[in-house]
C-alpha cells in the first residue's frame, strides 16, 4: 500500500467530479500519470494541467498519527496564458474543492455540498486497500505564483491529510 499515491488519486477524483475545470484541463496525480488518458511517456508536458502530488507519510508531533502533505498546483504555459487568467481560474477551482473538503471536515458545510469530507475519506480508505484511516485535514503552505525558466505559470495550495494505519 502506498498512502501518498492513494491520497493523490482520491484528491484527483474529487477534482474531476467537483471542480469547475475547462474541458482541456488535465488533472495529473504524480504517481499515477497513466490515469490521465492523454499521458504518453516521453511527452507528458501538456498544459493546462493540475499537478497533484503528496509527500511520503511522516509522523505528527504526537508520534501516533501521520500526515502526508500535498501540493496541488495549477500550471499553464505562458505562451497560451500571458495574463495568467487560465492558471488563476484553475487555482480557484482547486481552492474551492479543497476548502469544501476542509470546511466539511469541521462540520461547517450544509446542503448539497455536505458530505465531501466523508466522500474523500472513503476514497482514501478504498484506494489504500482499507489501511489508511483519515482523521483530519489541514490547509498547508501553498506554491506562490511563479513563472519558471520553461515559461510555465504555477500557483497552488497545500493540503495535509492526517491519518493512522489500520493493521489487519
**Domain CATH code at residue 83:** 3.30.2000.30
Q: How many domains does the chain fold into?
A: 1
Residue 41: its pLDDT value, please?
64
pLDDT digits (tens, 9 = 90+) for 95-111: 999 999 999 999 999 99
Neighbour-count burial for 21-30, b at 16+ CB within 10 Å, e otherwise: beeebbbbbe
Alpha helices in the chain (DSSP H): 3-18, 85-105, 116-127
Q: Residue 124 CB: number of other CB atoms within 10 A?
A: 22
At 112-125, the pLDDT tens digits run: 889 999 999 999 99
For the beta carbon of residue 142, count every other beta carbon within 10 angstroms. 18
The helix/strand/coil state of 32 is helix
Averaged pLDDT of the chain? 92
The grid coordinates listed for 96 are: 474551492
Reported in sequence order, the residue ranges of the chain that DSSP labels E, i.e. its strands, are 26-29, 49-54, 58-59, 66-77, 132-147, 152-165
Rounded mean pLDDT, 145-162? 96
| Predicted confidence (pLDDT) at residue 42 exceeds the cutoff of 80 | no
Range of the domain at 146: 3-165
Amino acid at each position: 500500500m502506498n498512502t501518498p499515491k492513494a491520497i493523490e488519486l482520491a484528491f484527483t477524483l474529487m477534482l474531476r467530479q467537483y471542480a469547475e475545470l475547462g474541458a482541456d484541463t488535465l488533472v495529473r496525480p504524480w504517481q499515477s500519470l497513466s490515469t490521465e488518458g492523454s499521458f504518453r511517456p516521453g511527452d507528458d508536458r501538456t498544459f493546462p494541467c493540475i499537478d497533484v502530488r503528496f509527500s511520503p507519510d511522516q509522523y505528527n508531533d504526537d508520534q501516533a498519527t501521520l500526515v502526508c502533505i500535498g501540493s496541488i498546483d495549477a500550471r499553464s504555459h505562458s505562451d497560451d496564458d500571458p495574463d495568467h487568467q487560465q492558471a488563476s481560474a484553475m487555482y480557484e477551482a482547486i481552492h474551492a474543492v479543497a476548502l469544501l473538503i476542509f470546511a466539511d471536515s469541521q462540520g461547517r458545510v450544509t446542503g448539497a455540498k455536505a458530505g465531501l469530507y466523508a466522500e474523500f475519506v472513503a476514497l482514501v480508505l478504498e484506494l489504500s486497500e482499507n489501511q489508511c484511516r483519515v482523521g483530519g485535514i489541514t490547509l498547508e503552505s501553498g506554491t506562490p505564483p511563479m513563472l519558471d525558466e520553461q515559461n510555465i505559470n504555477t500557483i497552488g495550495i497545500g493540503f495535509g491529510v492526517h491519518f493512522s494505519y489500520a493493521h489487519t
